[in-house]
């Protein structure tokens, strides 16, 4: 998974050439820590079809505000630089695959 910052956001997300799923998380968040292995496995299995990125909301406040993130975990699906969907809270692997049209 790619760690997003304001410095690499444009090159990693807006010019990705494929869908991008961004995980907004916090190290202090238990559900975020529980969800991380699922997202890392999806990245390993489907990284060629969808780019998987993450944003530490405590370290990247500007990106967090840009996406108006109010709770974590929150996933944001991007396509061609545009937000396609927001998913709040924990989801099963199968739900994420369905959202990404991969499963």
Any catalytic annotation for residue 50? no
Any catalytic annotation for residue 53? no
Q: Which residue in the list 13, 21, 32, 96 is annotated as catalytic?
A: 32
3-state class (DSSP) for residue 24: strand
* Alpha carbon distance 31, 84 (integer Å): 23
Q: Which of 76, 80, 79, 50 is nearest to 63 (CA)?
A: 76
* Alpha carbon distance 8, 4 (integer Å): 6
Q: Which residue in the list 29, 36, 87, 99 is annotated as catalytic?
A: 29
Residues belonging to the active site: 29, 32
């Amino acid at each position: 998974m790619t760690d997003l910052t304001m410095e690499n956001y444009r090159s990693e997300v807006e010019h990705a050439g494929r869908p991008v799923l961004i995980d907004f998380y916090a190290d202090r968040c238990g559900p975020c820590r529980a969800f991380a292995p699922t997202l890392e496995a999806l990245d390993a299995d489907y990284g060629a079809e969808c780019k998987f990125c993450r944003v530490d909301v405590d370290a990247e406040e500007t990106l967090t505000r840009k996406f108006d993130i109010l709770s974590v975990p929150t996933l944001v699906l991007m396509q061609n630089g545009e937000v396609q969907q927001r998913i709040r809270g924990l989801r099963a692997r199968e739900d994420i695959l369905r959202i990404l049209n991969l499963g």
